[in-house]
Structure 1
């Protein structure tokens, strides 16, 4: 999708971080943007930033908890009411917990899977059929290096496994979607300057109290969110099947898959 002017993109988790950075870059290209998140304050601030930077495009901010199927349906309804059709869907919303597998409670798994996996699924179910009907559109699924190499980062079990699942979802969808003129890009994201480690502040009451486990902070090279957003934008324009944000992690990824491939030799 090389010509973005006049198109409309919906970005979940669009109030901060990678979502906001991508919204700013899409708007700069003349794309209308709909950003959603669970925080009215952060979402409004982000939307105003987009409006100030790109006053000639339409910008909507809509509260949406993607772990709630009804909320995603309402997101679609609000966009339709505004007279817009979604050309680009960016499944970006993500949350994580920190702690050993055995200390995670049912509510922790339900929350992280609800946002990362089911939230992606709900959005695709709402917006993809219209793209198929029009034979045009692009879907971005933001994954993680933690999901690509699950034994690379420990103590994020629900997040790691949910991200591995969305990689499979994107890879499985791509050839089928291509038959309908729809592109699918799966993004393998590593250390980025975002607020994901503050996820618990957005935890809905129905998922109970935050998981409180003291975990030693991990040192990592973190690139600016704008850099990752630029790579995603390039993926949309060139209809890339995969985007990997950290080339320096290729060797670690190869090591992991070589271990799997070796199993086929025995």
Structure 2
């Protein structure tokens, strides 16, 4: 989608981190932006930052828990009431837990899958059909290097497997969506300066108490969220099927897929 000016972008998890930085960059290009998240204070602060930087575009901030289908439907309703339509959907909201597989409880899996996987397809189900009907639009599905190479980072089982699933969703949708004039970009994100490790602060009560397991923080090179957002913006403009934010991880990815390909030789 080369012409972004005047289009409207919805970014889930848009109050902080990559989502906020992408919202700032899209607004700077002349796009109206809608940011959503589960925390009003952080969401309002992010929206103010966007409005201050780009006063000539429309900016909406709408509370939404993407793990709840009714909440996503309400998000759609509020956007329609505001007289806007979603031309660019960025499925960015994400949470994670830390700890061994066997120590995760049912509600931990339900929460992470609810946000990362269900939240993605709930939003697609609400907004993609309208894009098909109009004959244009763009979907961005934010994945993870952890989902691309699942044995690379351990102790994030629900997150890793959910991200692997959204990669498959993006890849499967792209050729179909192209027939309707809709682009699909799947983003493989690695170490970034975000607040995802503080995910438990956003955990809804219905998913129970946070998972409390002490896990040593893994040393990693973390790039600024604005750098990742800039790569996503290019992906939207150039209709890239994949965006990989950390080129230095190419060899590790190749190693993983070579192991799979070797199985076909036996």
**TM-score scaled to structure 2, two decimals?**
1.00
Task: Give RMSD over aligned pairs.
Answer: 0.2
Counterpart in the other structure of 1:83: 83
4+ runs deviating over 2 angstroms: none
Residue 140 of structure 1 corresponds to 140
Q: Deviations over 1:78-98 (max 9, x none)?
A: 000101111000000000000
Aligned residue for 1:57?
57
The residue correspondences of 1:102-117 to structure 2 (distance < 5 A) are 102-117=102-117
Equivalents in 1 of 2:136, 2:78: separation in Å?
A: 21
Q: Which residue of 2 aligns with 1:187?
A: 187
- Within a 5 Å distance, the mapping from 1:249-260 to structure 2 comes to 249-260=249-260
1:113-262, aligned counterparts within 5 Å? 113-262=113-262
CA–CA distance in structure 2, aligned partners of residues 100 and 158 of structure 1? 10
2:70 maps to which residue? 70
* Residues in 1 aligned to 2:135 and 2:253: alpha-carbon distance in whole angstroms: 34
- In the alignment, the residues of structure 1 paired with residue 76 and residue 256 of structure 2 have an alpha-carbon distance, to the nearest angstrom, of 39
Aligned partner of 1:39 in structure 2 is 39
Task: Tell me the secondary structure at the aligned position of residue 86 of structure 2.
Answer: coil
2-structure distance, mates of 1:235, 1:246? 14
Q: What runs of 5+ residues in structure 1 fail to find an aligned partner?
A: none
1:260 to partner: Cα distance = 0.1
| C-alpha displacement of 1:69 | 0.2
Q: Secondary structure at the match of 1:128?
A: helix
- TM-score, structure 1 normalization: 1.00
Give me the whole-angstrom Cα distance separating, in 2, the residues matched to 1:3 and 1:165: 30
User: How big is the shift at 1:136?
Assistant: 0.3
Residue 25 (structure 1) aligned with residue 25 (structure 2):
yes
State the aligned residue count: 266
Taking the aligned partners of 2:142 and 2:217, their CA distance within structure 1 comes to 23
Question: Within 2, Cα distance between the matches of 1:265 and 1:12?
Answer: 42
CA drift of 1:125 comes to 0.1
Residues 10-42 of structure 1, C-alpha deviation per residue, up to 9 Å, x if partnerless? 000000000000000000000000000000000
